[in-house]
A and B are shown apart, each in its own frame.
Chain A
Amino acid sequence: MNQDLRREREAASFNPELLTHVLDGSPESTRRRREIENLILNDPDFQHEDLNFLTRSQRYEVAVRKSATMVKKMREFGIADPEEIMWFKRMHLVNFVEPVGLNFSMFIPTLLNQGTTAQQEKWLLSSKGLQIIGTYAQTEMGHGTHLRGLETTATYDPETQEFVLNSPTVTSIKWWPGGLGKTSNHAIVLAQLITKGKCYGLHAFIVPIREIGTHKPLPGITVGDIGPKFGYDEMDNGYLKMDNYRIPRENMLMKYAQVKPDGTYMKPVSNKLTYGTMVFVRSFLVGEAARSLSKACTIAIRYSAVRHQSEIKPGEPEPQILDFQTQQYKLFPLLATAYAFQFVGAYMKETYHRINEDIGQGDLSELPELHALTAGLKAFTSWTTNAAIEACRMACGGHGYSHCSGLPNIYVTFTPTCTFEGENTVMMLQTARFLMKSYDQVHAGKLVCGMVSYLNGLPTQRIQPQQVAVWPAVVDIDSPDSLTEAYKLRATRLVEIAAKNLQNEVIHRKSKEVAWNLTSVDLVRASEAHCHYVAVKLFSEKLLKIEDKSVHAVLRNLCLLYCLYGISQKAGDFLQGSIMTESQITQVNQRIKELLIAIRPDAVALVDAFDFQDVTLGSVLGRYDGNVYENLFEWAKKSPLNKSEVHESYFKYLKPLQSKL
């Protein structure tokens, strides 16, 4: 092992294993997770290709092979619990995304949620075994997050008892669904249902797109890959165009709404339940943000402990770059953020499961808040993580730009999270809608509960938000609880400002909707402040549950850093709201520097606690053993450009260049 890393690990003030247990939920979870990971790592059938040296087509091929063997292996090892399946998949796929992924994450769940028993009987078994490979086709070339704008039509023909599917315009071509381009032979297509001359809005249809046996597109279907992307190289995101393509009536998912053989439309009783999948996916994405950021921090911090550069004092040997204040200032707040998001992700998972049980018992009361919270937190965590991964990459200097660092791949794989499953700005505005509703409720004299209950404290008679002048308590910058209060005050203030500005615009503009648009920048700001408060609150509450003293101490420092760094970045909000004074902000900045020094000796142990296998990190810079440079050189020699000593282009162009000129 590299000497620097060895010293770092020996000097840590706590046992990272205990922290790993906290992150996994329990020592037992850690044990079982590792057991599953080792099943794969010790399996001779398990091959790991470095995806960086493969072409797009080769990457696709490897990914399909991995999926094909995975189905077999999971059966062989008897992996069936959802959590365990996830661990298994992560290790088996390493950093590949799965072209058949949507079959499991969207096609089957939608079939289960929206299909009748008969429909489930017909398709479920074969899709579980990948006899049919399904995908989920929602977005169109011209339409994304706004579902009602989709143009694809499904027109019922009572004579043949079929639906006729059409993509009437270029903009209506289905665009982006994963696995649609080359892999799937079925798709659940969202289309505007038209029967008896009337449009009833979006419904889901099971559409066969490729012939079983030959895999050729069926007549009336135009399907293909949408071409190269920033990342997701091995995923065949696809397009789908349908021309008078007919499917039987039974292919409409009819658990809720129905079309009778004669074309009569039967309204669904309630479709609030369709919320469920969205909420689940978004809360899952919060955890994914934490995971991606944790990986990036692991790589950047380990490398910063190995890399030596420049000098602090002339004449002395080059220090580890992790000893530079600027490097600590770049990385430690991100490390603190990674931990904060780990806890937010765990909270979202628990909450989802708890509320899901309530829903099962018919209690939908908490669903609106959960929906609003997941939307906002998905946006908040993904935006932050997106920028943070980039910051980690740049903190590795030039080598961060090379695929050897693994960071470009983490970045390009993560960044679509900001736009898919609900574009982030739209998500923030959904949260804002809930906040405004809660604000109105409080004004109408009703109490609100959950994460927005701080709004209950608003004095009802206030006219000017700026008059929120004197706050009751003085912020103690060494107390996570007191800092949580400060964030709460900030959120309260920004929610109130947005609400007042919205009211003002409504008075001037007549139309509520125009007013909404002209206040949307304020509304997004309010949502961000709300989400930031939630993250701070969850982190500081988590501290109370940590028993081990040394782990508690190091997490407390991270929590303080997370809170204080946020304040220093948004100092304007805290000053303008008179939540903190100028001299307190100065103290905050001073305290941040002290925390950097305090965290420094534990930095490597803190990333070790994330417990990523080297193969999962996929990074030469982030290797556990720290032997960076030797391996970097070995890695580079594998570059396709190095296949021959003298490159073909020399004979073709360079030599003639010299003679022709």
Chain B
Amino acid sequence: MGSPVHRVSLGDTWSRQVHPNIESERHIQSFNVESLINILDGGAQNTALRRKVESIIHSDPEFSLKYNYFMTQNERYVAAVQKKFHLQTIAKRLGWLENSLEFHYAYRALSGEVALSLHHLFLKSLRTLGSEEQIAKWTPLCNEFQIIASYAQTELGHGTNLRGLETEATYDAATQEFVVHSPTLTATKWWPGDMGRSATHTLVQAQLICSGARQGMHAFIVPIRSLQDHTPLPGVTVGDIGPKMDFDHTDNGFLQLDHVRVPRENMLSRFAQVLPDGTYIKLGTSQTNYFSLVVVRVDLLLGEIIPLLQKACVIAIRYSVIRRQSSIRPSDPEVKILDYQTQQQKLFPPLATAYAFHFLASSLLEFLHSSYDAILNKDFSHLPELHALSAGIKAMISDLCLQGTELCRQACGGHGYSKLSGLPSLVSRVTASCTYEGDNTVLYLQTARFLVKNYLQAQAQATPGSTLQKSLPQSIAYLTTTDLARCPAQKAADFLHPKLYTTAWAHVATRLIKDSVHHLQTVMQSGADWDEAWNQTTVIHLQAAKAHCFYISVKSFTETLEKLENDLAVQQVLKRLCDLYALHGILTNAGDFLHDGFLSGAQVDAVRTAYLDLLRLIRKDAILLTDAFDFTDQCLNSALGCYDGNVYERLFHWAQKSPTNTQRNPAYEKYLRPLLQSWRSKL
């Protein structure tokens, strides 16, 4: 009976009833939650498959995440390896294929608390950068876990800037081997996941030197540990880089290579080759080496980053209908904190963002899929745009997911600080995504470079009479459409039109890009060369790239809405989120819209009115909108965010299981007792 979403929490024996405060939120359903779930899953059959996988995972006690928050770094690493082992065993039994949806859903159910994820990154890189023979040779070894592989790029002294890496691979034609070497302390590979304790092989990014010439970064498969006893191979110094904010389940490692020799065939050679005599042949563009990074970046969005924000929203919003605090009127009972305007203002923009990003990342993924095969076949025409889009979008998504997740955590007051809320782990995981796979500032600037370059090119081509649209890639075609100087809206309701606010965002993005080009040119005219001028204008390039990405996200959200015409109820509720997303963006950047008079002061006030009204409207659907993400309680792993709303009982039960309560207190015996007694004797 009832909604198929309904799944009682965690199987706690004492919890057989849904808390009335959350149940009442689900009474009146203005839309069909299940339809929205199917939309997010990409079809009802996917929802069904996902739930099947989840039930397999959650019915197996070996996969329990309940004790994670009590574990040390070492224990979590061991638990993650154990889960990986168990998962592979089950996958084999059930015939799940590597890279299948089943695996994807299993990771989701386990919140990624599984070791050897870099093993799969290795495979991805192999498929994008390896030749057909290399793929044929290494893939089965990986799939059968004959080897455990990782991916080693960043160094102690070098991160996002690939060209700065110091590790060298020098070709020795006499033996037909590469000599892979870390020439300095700062060249030590640092951070690669799974490398500290687990991996037997790693894909090392190194400067290729052959016939005395440096050919830039290339990828080499380097064995690092013995396949017999797992000890480091000669010339290899490897270990764990120590405690981090989170990712305790991953053994991020360091690696020093002292003239380690690998055969010529170990250089991945889809886009570049070294012939036995040391001749270097380039088959791709300078960007091809980045291609595997693009693939990884795009996969991370839906696979790791966005779900973290979604979960934070689920937890904070559910808790906010259970938590009662103060009263609006003195004589009334305490109200649900979600009824406070200030609480809605904290939580609903992140909720809208979580939806916006889901649709944005899905469309980016589609774009990637449609260009993937072409690129493997060395048609690189889409690569620059794909690279620019994935860079900026990754930066925006991780930035705003972090902000939103942290807001959700703080919106839960003191309990948000307890690990049992699940929120600290979400924050400390999402925050890593702002740096890994490319520091966000650097990524935004890569997008900015693309924008400036294309804009200049188009400008140069534009002769009087012809407009400059022809040459622009699709995602920036808007730069050439005719633009209004003033926003036509007259009242608050006018701002609830997707076309109106999409145009507004296009206007601001266009203006900022033009401005940034103008600034660059001005600095260059005053005598600076391109590079110097670029560094002196990066703050505005950053701003322009952010506006561009935000525009893209608003546009993708509105396009998603258009496709939902056969489910009007879902369309309506999502449209409110879309409106809120776009208008919240305008309000937080009001200066940019007021700057050239595109919006007047009165119009900004109207935006604010429309925005505050939306909060009230979304309030009614808030719980259902979080239910639609359809996370299981086990996967949320939060005392505050369970489906049944029994927050306080769960918090109390769970806390009592903490080792601090189940184990002795040695500090009392050692220090407190003597302290108390020394004083007593004096009294």
Question: Please, how many angstroms separate the alpha-carbon atoms of A418 and B410 in the complex?
Answer: 7
CB contacts (< 8 Å) of A521 on chain B: these are: 341-342, 345, 612
Binary interface profile of A, 326-367, with partner B (CB < 8 Å = 1, else 0)?
110110000000000000000000000000000000000000
Stretch from A176-184, A252-260, A281-289, A478-486 that touches the partner? A176-184
Pick the interface stretch among B225-233, B308-316, B485-493: B225-233
Q: Which of B72, B156, B419 contacts A632 (CB 8 A)?
A: B156
- Would A146 and B325 be within 8 Å (CB), given that A227-B418, A654-B198 are in contact? yes
Chain A 648-661 interface 0/1 with B at a Cβ cutoff of 8 Å (1 = within): 11101111111011
A86 to B605 alpha-carbon distance, docked (Å): 48
A contact residues around B325 at 8 Å (CB): 143-146, 149
Q: B231: which of A329, A408, A573, A645 is its contact (CB, 8 Å)?
A: A645
Whether A394 is near chain B, meaning CB under 8 Å from some CB there, is: yes
Q: Dominant SS at the B interface? A: helix
Please give, as numbers and ranges, the residues of chain B lying within 8 Å of A313 by CB-CB distance. Answer: 529, 531-532
Residue pair B254, A633 in contact (C-beta under 8 Å): yes
When C-beta atoms are compared, the residue in chain B nearest to A172 turns out to be: B648
Interface status of B367 (Cβ within 8 A of chain A): no
- Of the listed stretches A61-69, A108-116, A152-160, chain B binds A61-69
Cβ-neighbour of B243 out of A52, A398, A517, A577 (below 8 A): A52
CB-CB under 8 A from B649, the residues of chain A are: 170
Q: How far is the CB of B105 from chain A (nearest CB, A)?
A: 21
B164, A310: Cβ atoms closer than 8 Å: yes
Q: Mark B652-683, 1 if CB is under 8 A from A, else 0.
A: 10111111110101111011111110011001
- In the assembled complex, B61 has its CB within 8 A of some CB on chain A: no
Assess whether B232 is in contact with A215, with CB atoms less than 8 Å apart. Answer: no
- Interface-side segment among A1-9, A124-132, A189-197, A448-456: A124-132
Interface of A (DSSP majority class): helix
Judged by a CB distance under 8 angstroms, whether A443 is at the interface is: no
B146 at the A interface (CB under 8 A): yes
B160 touches A126 (CB 8 A): no
CB distance from B652 to the nearest CB of A (A): 6
0 or 1 for each of A574-602: is its CB under 8 Å from B? (1 = yes) = 11111000100100010011000000000
- A224 & B648 in contact (Cβ 8 Å cutoff): no
With the chains together, A570 CA to B158 CA distance in Å?
Answer: 35
Q: Does B63 contact A (CB under 8 A)?
A: no
Is there an interface contact between B531 and A661, defined as CB atoms closer than 8 Å?
no
Are A593 and B672 also in contact (CB < 8 A) when A225-B661, A585-B591 are? no
Q: Give CA–CA (A95, B539) in the complex, Å.
A: 35
Which of B81, B145, B596, B657 has a CB less than 8 Å from the CB of A582? B596
Known A141-B652, A143-B325, A228-B420: A215·B668 in contact at CB below 8 Å: yes
A641 and B73 form a contact (CB under 8 A): yes
Contact A68 B672 (CB under 8 A): yes
Check if B651 sits within 8 Å of A397, measured CB to CB: no
> Contact: A230 with B160, CB < 8 Å?
no
Is residue A200 within 8 Å, beta carbon to beta carbon, of the partner chain? no
Q: Is the CB of A228 within 8 A of B69?
A: yes
| Bound Cα distance A182, B239 (Å) | 36
CB distance from A196 to the nearest CB of B (A): 24
The size bracket of the interface on A is 35 or more
Check B439–A397 contact: CB distance below 8 A.
yes
Task: Please measure, in the bound complex, the distance between the C-alpha atom of A466 and the C-alpha atom of B603, giving whole angstroms.
Answer: 11
Task: Fill in one digit per residue for B393-435: 1 if any A CB lies within 8 Å of its CB, else 0.
Answer: 0000000001000100010011011111000100110011011
Known: A65-B667, A230-B419, A629-B156. A181 touches B254 (CB 8 A): no
- Asked if residues A653 and B648 are in contact (CB atoms below 8 Å), the reply is no
Q: CB of A314 within 8 A of chain B?
A: yes
For A55, the closest partner residue in chain B by CB is B72
The verdict on A308 contacting chain B, using a C-beta distance below 8 Å, is yes
In the complex, 27 of the A-B residue pairs with CB atoms within 8 angstroms, ordered by the A residue number, are A53-B243, A61-B667, A142-B648, A149-B325, A171-B648, A215-B672, A226-B655, A227-B418, A308-B157, A311-B164, A313-B532, A318-B161, A394-B431, A397-B435, A401-B431, A513-B327, A513-B329, A572-B591, A593-B536, A633-B185, A640-B72, A649-B78, A650-B198, A653-B85, A655-B230, A658-B145, A661-B88
Closest A-B pairs by Cβ, 10 of them = A571-B591, A572-B590, A225-B660, A230-B424, A641-B240, A639-B242, A227-B658, A310-B161, A575-B594, A64-B667
Q: A182-B667, A312-B532 are in contact. List 15 more A-B contacts (CB 8 A).
A: A53-B242, A65-B671, A182-B665, A215-B673, A225-B660, A232-B417, A318-B161, A325-B536, A326-B542, A401-B244, A402-B244, A415-B410, A514-B329, A582-B596, A648-B78
Which B residues are closer than 8 A to A by beta carbons?
Answer: 69-70, 72-74, 77-78, 81-82, 84-85, 88-89, 92, 144-146, 148, 154, 156-161, 163-164, 185-186, 188, 190-191, 196-198, 229-232, 239-245, 251, 254, 323-330, 334, 339-343, 345-346, 402, 406, 410, 413-414, 416-420, 424, 427-428, 431-432, 434-436, 439-442, 445, 529, 531-532, 534-540, 542, 587, 589-597, 601-602, 604-605, 612, 648-649, 651-652, 654-661, 663, 665-668, 670-676, 679-680, 683
